[in-house]
């Protein structure tokens, strides 16, 4: 079992570091990356004028996902009943507020959200269009009543806390429901379910490759799983072959779509499962959504190997490091079924 702060912190810090590593090259082609950064592409964190490596909307929404499920759990403990996606939906409305929208948001939704005191969250870092438009629509999407037909990777990239919080079968189902709040295509919410299941399996003590195999078996229980399953199978196969990382990743896709981002991240994590740095460098140097694939790869390997496998100089540079550590520790307490802090996570 990996029920310790090393692995919970590793998952969230790893994701934030991958996010920050890929952020400067998110909208660049591989050729443009090489022209700017030289052979091997971008290989180290880029620091802002404030001396930190900036996160993007992927890590911002990951934090609000964690806040939402922790508040949901407190609601369940106090009321005996809770619809988790609804509480997470309001957490996402608070994220939307940090992006300059919803200035008239109901005070009861904003009330007592300690994340809103983190000034660094009040920056737009290329927020996903599907996330913004669906949250502005006033409609709470669901699997049964999709808010759109988006299969973008935005829902996937914020999913890691669900894998930390819940045991794997529940993690899969809750992650799908939370993804469907903003992304209505099956490949979007199934990829989120698969990632949560994979991370939960790793936290339960499974080795990485067997955990990926069990995730595939779980996926096959659901209708419309074929796109996600195909990309995962492709990732496993390519990780064993001798192609360059660029060529292998190009075969999987660019990562803008949920199933592609999941496949790329699994490829990088499996191929470099003992080297966080090599995995993340591979995950961000390609034609596509570099910050999201970096973040997801970082989530997986951070959960698998823990903080000790992450370069210390990267940890020290990451934006909102203390917030990420606090959230990770609170998720660990809830995993171990300790009483949660009502003041920090009121149950509404």
The pLDDT tens digits of the residues spanning 47-77 come to 999 999 999 999 999 999 999 999 999 888 8
The response to whether 57 counts as a known ligand-binding position is: yes
Q: Which of 253, 254, 258, 305 is nearest to 278 (CA)?
A: 305
Contact between 280 and 308 under an 8 Å Cβ cutoff? The reply is: no
pLDDT at 102: 76
Q: How far apart are the first and last CA of the chain?
A: 31
Asked if residue 244 belongs to a known ligand binding site, the reply is no
Q: Are 134 and 156 in contact (CB under 8 A)?
A: no
Is residue 22 within 8 Å of residue 43, measured between CB atoms?
A: no
Residue 287 counted as an annotated binding residue: no
Q: What is the pLDDT at residue 278?
A: 98
Which residues pair with residue 53 across a beta bridge? 318
Average pLDDT over residues 209-226: 97
Q: Is residue 209 classed exposed, middle or buried when 0-12, 13-18 and 19+ CB atoms within 10 A define those classes?
A: middle
Average pLDDT over residues 204-214: 97
pLDDT at position 189 over 80: yes
pLDDT above 70 coverage of the chain, percent: 97
- CATH superfamily for domain 5-43+54-335: ADP-ribosylation/Crystallin J1 (1.10.4080.10)
Distances, alpha carbon 34 to alpha carbons 43, 233, 249, 285, in Å: 11, 29, 16, 9
Contact 221, 17 (CB under 8 A): no
Tell me how far apart the alpha carbons of residues 22 and 143 are, in angstroms, rounded to a whole number. Answer: 30
- Over residues 192-216, the mean pLDDT reads 98
Split at pLDDT 50, 70, 90, the class of 149 is: very high
Task: Specify the pTM.
Answer: 0.97
3-state secondary structure of 195: helix
User: DSSP readout, 45-110?
Assistant: PPP-TTSSB---HHHHHHHHHHHHHHHHHHHHHHHS---HHHHHHHHHHHHHHHTT--TT--HHHH
- 348 pLDDT band, cuts 50/70/90, is confident
Question: Is 46 exposed, middle or buried (CB count within 10 Å of its CB: 0-12, 13-18, 19+)?
Answer: middle
Q: Looking at residues 267-290, what average pLDDT do you find?
A: 97
What was the pLDDT predicted at 336? 65
Mean pLDDT over 127-140 rounds to: 94
The per-residue pLDDT for 343 is 79
Residues 219/190, Cβ–Cβ less than 8 Å? yes
Average pLDDT over all residues of the chain: 94
Residue 310 has pLDDT above 90, yes or no: yes
pLDDT of residue 335: 66
Query: Mapping DSSP to helix (H, G, I), strand (E, B) and coil, where does residue 143 land?
Result: coil
> Residue 334: in which H helix or E strand, if any?
helix 321-335
- Is 56 assigned to a binding site? yes
What CA–CA distance (Å, rounded) separates 21 from 49? 16
d(CA 312, CA 42): 18
44 annotated as ligand-binding? no
Judge whether residue 338 has pLDDT over 70. Answer: no
pLDDT at position 24 is 97
- Is 336 one of the annotated binding-site residues? no
> Which has the minimum average pLDDT: 39-53, 89-103, 137-151, 298-312?
89-103
Q: 106 pLDDT exceeds 80?
A: no
Give me the mean pLDDT over the 106-120 stretch: 82
Counting every residue written for the chain, the total comes to 348
Query: And the tokens for 186?
Result: 């099956």
Q: What is the pLDDT of residue 216?
A: 97
Are 280 and 144 a contacting pair, CB within 8 Å? no
Under the banding of pLDDT at 50, 70 and 90, the label for residue 108 is: low
What is the pLDDT at residue 340? 64
Whether residue 334 is predicted with pLDDT greater than 90 in this model: the reply is no
């Amino acid at each position: 079992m990996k029920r310790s702060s090393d692995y919970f912190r590793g998952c969230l810090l790893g994701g934030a570091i991958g996010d920050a590593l890929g952020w400067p090259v998110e909208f660049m082609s591989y050729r443009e990356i090489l022209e700017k950064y030289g052979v091997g592409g971008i290989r180290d964190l880029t620091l802002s004028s404030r001396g930190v490596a900036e996160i993007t909307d992927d890590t911002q929404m990951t934090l609000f996902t964690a806040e939402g499920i922790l508040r949901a759990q407190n609601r369940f403990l106090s009321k005996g009943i809770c619809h988790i996606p609804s509480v997470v939906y309001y957490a996402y409305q608070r994220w939307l507020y940090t992006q300059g929208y919803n200035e008239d948001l109901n005070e009861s939704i904003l009330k007592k959200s300690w994340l809103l005191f983190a000034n660094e969250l009040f920056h737009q870092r290329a927020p996903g269009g599907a996330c913004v438009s669906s949250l502005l629509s006033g409609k709470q999407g669901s699997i049964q009543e999709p808010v759109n037909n988006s299969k973008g990777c935005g829902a996937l990239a914020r999913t890691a806390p669900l894998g930390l919080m819940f045991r794997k079968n529940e993690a899969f189902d809750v992650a799908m429901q939370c993804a469907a709040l903003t992304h209505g295509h099956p490949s979007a919410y199934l990829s989120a379910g698969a990632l949560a299941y994979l991370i939960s399996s790793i936290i339960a003590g499974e080795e990485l490759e067997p955990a990926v195999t069990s995730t595939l078996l779980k996926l096959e229980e659901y209708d419309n799983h074929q796109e996600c399953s195909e990309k995962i199978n492709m990732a496993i196969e390519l990780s064993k072959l001798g192609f360059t990382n660029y060529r292998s990743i190009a075969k999987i896709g660019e990562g803008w779509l949920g199933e592609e981002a999941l496949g790329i991240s699994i490829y990088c994590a499996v191929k470099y499962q003992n080297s966080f740095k090599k995995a993340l460098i591979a995950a961000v140097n390609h034609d596509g959504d570099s910050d999201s694939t970096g973040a997801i790869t970082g989530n997986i390997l951070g959960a698998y190997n823990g903080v000790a496998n992450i370069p210390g100089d990267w940890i020290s540079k990451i934006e909102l490091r203390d917030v990420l550590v606090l959230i990770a520790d609170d998720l660990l307490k809830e995993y171990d079924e300790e009483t949660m802090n009502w003041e920090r996570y009121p149950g509404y």
